[in-house]
Chains A and B, each alone.
Chain A
Amino acid sequence: NAGVMQNPRHLVRRRGQEARLRCSPMKGHSHVYWYRQLPEEGLKFMVYLQKENIIDESGMPKERFSAEFPKEGPSILRIQQVVRGDSAAYFCASSPPRGKAEAFFGQGTRLTVV
Chain B
Amino acid sequence: GEDVEQSLFLSVREGDSSVINCTYTDSSSTYLYWYKQEPGAGLQLLTYIFSNMDMKQDQRLTVLLNKKDKHLSLRIADTQTGDSAIYFCAEKGTGGSYIPTFGRGTSLIVHP
Q: Contact: B103 with A101, CB < 8 Å?
A: no
Q: Does A104 interact with chain B (Cβ within 8 Å)?
A: yes
- Using A42-B104, A43-B88, A101-B48 as known contacts, say yes or no to A107 and B99 having CB atoms under 8 A apart: no
Q: Does A41 interact with chain B (Cβ within 8 Å)?
A: yes
Residues of chain B lying within 8 A (CB to CB) of residue A42? 88, 102-105
- Using A48-B97, A56-B97, A108-B42 as known contacts, say yes or no to A103 and B33 having CB atoms under 8 A apart: yes
Binary interface encoding of chain B residues 49-82 relative to chain A, with 1 for a CB under 8 A from any of its CBs, else 0:
0100000000000000000000000000000000
Residues of chain A lying within 8 A (CB to CB) of residue B101? 45
- In the complex, A106→B101 CA distance in Å? 17
Chain A nearest CB from B93 CB (Å) reads: 11
Residues of chain A lying within 8 A (CB to CB) of residue B104? 41-42
Chain B nearest CB from A14 CB (Å) reads: 23
Interface of A: prevailing SS: strand
CB-based A-B contact count at 8 angstroms: 54
Interface of B: prevailing SS: strand
- Using A42-B102, A42-B105 as known contacts, say yes or no to A104 and B41 having CB atoms under 8 A apart: no
Q: Does A33 interact with chain B (Cβ within 8 Å)?
A: yes
Q: Does A114 interact with chain B (Cβ within 8 Å)?
A: no
Residues of chain B lying within 8 A (CB to CB) of residue A104? 45
Chain B positions within 8 Å of A, measured between CB atoms, are 30-31, 33, 35, 41-45, 48, 50, 88, 90, 92, 97-105
Please give 16 more A-B residue pairs, beta carbons under 8 A apart, in addition to A45-B99, A103-B90. A6-B42, A31-B98, A35-B102, A42-B88, A42-B103, A43-B88, A43-B102, A45-B101, A48-B99, A56-B97, A101-B31, A103-B92, A105-B44, A105-B45, A107-B41, A107-B42
